[in-house]
Chain A
Amino acid sequence: MLVDKIEFSLLNPELIRKMSVAKITKTELYDQEGYPIEGGLMDPRLGVVDPGVRCRTCGGSVGECQGHFGCLELTRPIIHVHYAKILFSILKMICKKCSRILIDEKELKKIKERKLAFKKIVKLAEKRCPYCKQEQGKLKFIKPYTFTEDNEILNPIKLRERFEKMSDEDLEILGFKKMRPEWLILTLLPIPPVTVRPSITLETGERSEDDLTHKLVDIVRINERLKENIDLGAPDFIIEDLWELLQYHVSTYFDNEISGVPPARHRSGRILKTLSQRLKTKEGRFRGNLAGKRVNFSARTVITPDPMIDVDEVGIPQLIAKELTIPVRVNEKNIEEMKKFVLNGPENWPGANYIIRPDGRRKKITEQNKEDIVKEIAPGYIIERHLQDGEIALFNRQPSLHRMSIMAHRVRVMPFKTFRLNLSVCPPYNADFDGDEMNLHIPQTEEAQVEAEELMAVRKHIRSPRFSGPIIGAIIDHITGLYLLTHGKKKFDREEFTQLIRAVDPEIEIPDKKTMTGKEIFSMFLPKDFSIEHKSKSCVGCKKCLKERCEHDAYVVIKDGKMLCGTIDKAAVGDEEGKIIDKMEKLYGPEFVKKFLFKITRLAVDVLTKVGFSISISDQDLPQEAVSEIKNVLEKVRKDVDELIKLYEKGELKVLVGRTPKESLEHSIKITLRNGLNEIGSILEKSIKENSTIMMARSGAKGSMVNITQTAAVIGQETIMGERMERGYYERTFPHFKKGDISLEAKGFVSRGFRNGLTPFEFFFDAINSRESLMDKSLKTRHSGYMERRLVGALQDLKVEYDGTVRDSANRIIQFIPGEDGLDPSKVERVGVDVRGIAKELFR
Chain B
Amino acid sequence: MKKINIERHELVPKHIILSEKERQELLEKYGITLKQLPKILVSDPIIQILNGKVGDVVKIIRKSPTAGEITHYRVVIKG
Q: Which residues of A contact B (CB under 8 A)?
A: 803, 805, 807, 810-817, 819-823
Contact B38 A820 (CB under 8 A): no
Contact A821 B38 (CB under 8 A): no
Q: Which residues of B contact A (CB under 8 A)?
A: 30-32, 35-38, 62, 64, 66-67, 70-73
- A821: chain B residues at CB < 8 Å are 64, 66-67, 70
Question: What CA separation (Å) do A822 and B66 show in the bound complex?
Answer: 10
Question: What CA separation (Å) do A814 and B38 show in the bound complex?
Answer: 6
- B38: chain A residues at CB < 8 Å are 812-814
- B35: chain A residues at CB < 8 Å are 812
Contact A820 B36 (CB under 8 A): no
Contact B70 A813 (CB under 8 A): no
Question: What CA separation (Å) do A820 and B35 show in the bound complex?
Answer: 22
The 5 closest A-B pairs by CB, nearest first: A821-B67, A821-B66, A820-B64, A812-B36, A820-B67
13 contacts between A and B (CB under 8 A): A803-B31, A807-B36, A811-B36, A812-B35, A812-B38, A813-B32, A814-B38, A815-B72, A817-B67, A817-B70, A820-B62, A821-B66, A822-B67
A sample of 13 more A-B contacts (CB under 8 A), given A811-B36, A812-B35, A817-B67, is: A805-B30, A810-B36, A812-B36, A812-B37, A812-B38, A813-B32, A814-B38, A815-B72, A816-B71, A816-B73, A820-B67, A820-B70, A821-B64
Contact A820 B37 (CB under 8 A): no
B interface SS class: mixed
- A813: chain B residues at CB < 8 Å are 30, 32, 36-38
Question: What CA separation (Å) do A746 and B36 show in the bound complex?
Answer: 65
Q: How far is the CB of A664 from chain B (nearest CB, A)?
A: 35
Which chain B residue shows the least CB distance to A804? B30
- A805: chain B residues at CB < 8 Å are 30
Contact B30 A823 (CB under 8 A): no
- B67: chain A residues at CB < 8 Å are 817, 820-822
Q: How far is the CB of A822 from chain B (nearest CB, A)?
A: 8
- B72: chain A residues at CB < 8 Å are 815-816
- A816: chain B residues at CB < 8 Å are 70-73
- B66: chain A residues at CB < 8 Å are 819-821, 823
- B71: chain A residues at CB < 8 Å are 816
Question: What CA separation (Å) do A814 and B72 show in the bound complex?
Answer: 10
Q: Which of A811, A820, A823 has the most CB of B within 10 A?
A: A820
Question: What CA separation (Å) do A5 and B32 show in the bound complex?
Answer: 23
- A810: chain B residues at CB < 8 Å are 36
Question: What CA separation (Å) do A815 and B74 show in the bound complex?
Answer: 11
Q: How far is the CB of B10 from chain A (nearest CB, A)?
A: 16
- B37: chain A residues at CB < 8 Å are 812-813
Question: What CA separation (Å) do A523 and B55 show in the bound complex?
Answer: 66
Question: What CA separation (Å) do A815 and B38 show in the bound complex?
Answer: 8
Q: How far is the CB of B64 from chain A (nearest CB, A)?
A: 5
Question: What CA separation (Å) do A815 and B70 show in the bound complex?
Answer: 11
- A823: chain B residues at CB < 8 Å are 66
Question: What CA separation (Å) do A48 and B30 show in the bound complex?
Answer: 54
